[in-house]
Amino acid sequence: MKVIAVLNQKGGSGKTTIATHLARSLQLGGADVLLVDSDPQGSARDWSAVREDNPVTVVGIDRPTIDRDVRNVASKVDYVVVDGAPQAADLAVSAIKAADFILVPVQPSPYDIWATSDLVDLIQQRIEMTDGRLKAAFVVSRAIKGTRVGSEVSDALAGYGLPVLSTRITQRVIYPGTAAGGTTVLDAEPKSDAACEIRDLTSEIKEALGE
């Protein structure tokens, strides 16, 4: 079992969109996947509840016991994807302890980049404690298509010491549109550019995990 935590303590970074799509992408690739909603607001659980036949199993663990509970409830799955909670340091620490890979979505703005500082410090401490076994990376999220943000964002994030994935998750109306129906772009429009970027993101994460 591999645990992928999607974390950012600043709201609006696209965590839930990425977590739900990543879980579905891994599932469509043949894996047995559990999505853990650790946000007390329960956005991923709300998304799941829209459809009675939602193929992604979602459970809520919104207490700082994620590292313990995940091992107990999900020992037989291939992947656990954790949708992290904003503004909750104790939940973030628990998710970091549980994780094999941490994905940090960051919007391409200086305010969002600055806001990751405390989270990166926690991640770096855990990387040191695990002798580098914990892997982590940034992904630029909600990028506006056609704008020159790639190199500028990568340069700004370079000082934090974590890699920046080459995949960009762009701001598209199809993401909230499919979320409202309790589905994903992979199901609604599998040949779309949005679906391609989700598959590319999944591939990069699996490669980082050595798979």
* Residue pLDDT, tens place only, 4-13: 999 998 888 8
Phi, psi of 146, deg, nearest 5: 95, -5
Report pLDDT for 149.
Answer: 63
Confidence of residue 150 (pLDDT cuts 50, 70, 90): low
Q: What is the pTM of this model?
A: 0.95
- The mean predicted confidence, pLDDT, of the chain is 92
Give the contacts of 1 (CB within 8 A, at least 6 positions apart). 74, 75, 76, 77, 78, 79, 80
CATH number for the domain running over 2-208: 3.40.50.300
Q: Is it the case that residue 147 has pLDDT exceeding 70?
A: no
C-alpha–C-alpha distance, residues 189 and 170, integer Å:
15
